[in-house]
Amino acid sequence: MTTNEEAIECIRKCLALRDVSRCFIDCVLGKEPVAEAMKWISVFNGVLEDVGKLYGFKNVLFSREFGSFLKDPYRHLKKKLFIYTHDLKRGRLTPEEYGPRAAAALRTSLRTNLRTLYQNWVFLAIIHSLYHDGVYVVYPEHGVLSLERSGKQKLRWIPPNLVIDIPGQGSLSFFIEVPRPLAWEDSSDLRESWRLYTALRPDIMVYGGRVMDIVAMDSNPPIKRPDVIIECKELIDWYVRVRDVRGPLAKPLTAEEWRNLWIQGLWDGLADVLGVSRREAIEEVRKRRGIRLSEVKIVELYRSVYNPREMILVSKYGVPDDVKRQLEGHDIVVVDNVGFNMESLKEVAYRITRYARHPEEYLFRVKDHRIASIIHRILELLNTGRIGINELEEFIRTHMES
């Protein structure tokens, strides 16, 4: 990665070439990061194809941004430079202005898309591990899996990305990057939705049972308590990085907001993570209009605020023992050195299945008409009491063992 001065030198060097954008990308990012991204995409497409075959998905939808990146990383990054390069050639930007701005756009796009890729790979790898004969997709019913959230809340609810039924264990509902804001029409709607605008967003939330909406405005926070939160880390040094936590913390506190339980809950969670009183946490945020936290503290904040029954951190690379101990001290399970090895996520899949809940009724996908007819007749015998469940189980067990 380059400094601002180096980015300016890059654009000066590339201006004389026909493909200014490609030259600038290679100069600023280097060829290796983009080549590495292509390897990640190849691995991702492999598990995507496998999961599609297992679950019978006709298509998988991504956000426009991520979908463009998957198709061609270089072309996607060039799009990020189009306006800047156009303005540069027209004289509206100088090389000194172009270099830092365009370089920042490239770095942000690459980093964001690789983070999305790894998060989605973890999700796909987990549901790949969960699959066995008889697993049934309850939602979406149309066979098109959506891994993006755009426009999903227009009807003022937050639906799952996927609900599956595991025979003998129950159902599981998966939500990626939630909560998200709801649509609103007037000020009263906006006041109600504001807590979702400012909410912290873990990578994956999992609920036992068939959960079709997680909005719960009368609770604190304003969503149903998840059974499992999975946070994904793709960088080798993620635990030494810091970032600003803004959202509700960045806004001046009014008397109305003080009465808001979500804000109060967030202060309590932040104070708990920082090891200070709520008043001390508030004073710190007032001074900064937000607060700068390490990624480790942010993970702990997710645990404190959302209070899942279990929280799991999946790291592509190894995590130092002292960081592991710190996270485990906050009741966070660390699964590290995962890379792109799906076998490493079997433990995560097993942990998730412990929270599966049985639905009120089961659905089976049966292609053979005669088998469907036999199952229907068995149900009739059970419902009319002409055969008991114990008798049926013994009959099946005898024939399976023979």
- For the chain, domain boundaries: 1-131, 134-361, 369-401
Q: Which of 217, 222, 230, 382 is CA-nearest to residue 302?
A: 230
- pLDDT, residue 304, reads 87
Q: Which of 70, 89, 91 is CA-nearest to residue 21?
A: 89
Specify the 3-state DSSP secondary structure of 90. coil
- pLDDT, residue 287, reads 59
Specify the 3-state DSSP secondary structure of 113. helix
Amino acid sitting at position 110 = L
What does the pLDDT look like over 251-298, one tens digit per residue? 544 434 444 444 566 666 666 666 667 666 666 656 555 577 889 998
Element (H, E) at 69: helix 64-71
Q: What's the gap between Cα 349 and its chain centre?
A: 16
- ∠ CA 105-106-110 to the nearest 5 degrees? 120
pLDDT averaged per 10 residues, the chain (length 402): 86 91 94 95 97 94 94 95 89 92 95 96 97 89 84 65 91 86 45 54 93 79 90 96 67 44 59 66 60 87 91 98 96 97 96 90 66 78 83 81 67
Bond into 179 cis (ω within 30)? yes
- pLDDT, residue 250, reads 47
Q: Measured between alpha carbons, how far is 190 from 20 in angstroms, rounded to an integer?
A: 45
Q: Which residues contact 273 (CB under 8 A, 6 or more apart)?
A: 293, 297, 300, 301, 304
When computed from its CA atoms, the radius of gyration of the chain, rounded to whole angstroms, is 25
- pLDDT, residue 67, reads 95
What does the pLDDT look like over 270-280, one tens digit per residue? 666 666 676 66
Q: Return the structure tokens found at 244.
A: 């600003």
Q: Return the structure tokens found at 352.
A: 């998730």
- pLDDT, residue 195, reads 53
- pLDDT, residue 289, reads 54
- pLDDT, residue 402, reads 62
For 165-216, the DSSP string reads EETTTEEEEEEES---PPP-SSHHHHHHHHHHHS----SEEEEES-----B-
Q: Determine contact, residues 156/148, Cβ cutoff 8 Å.
A: no
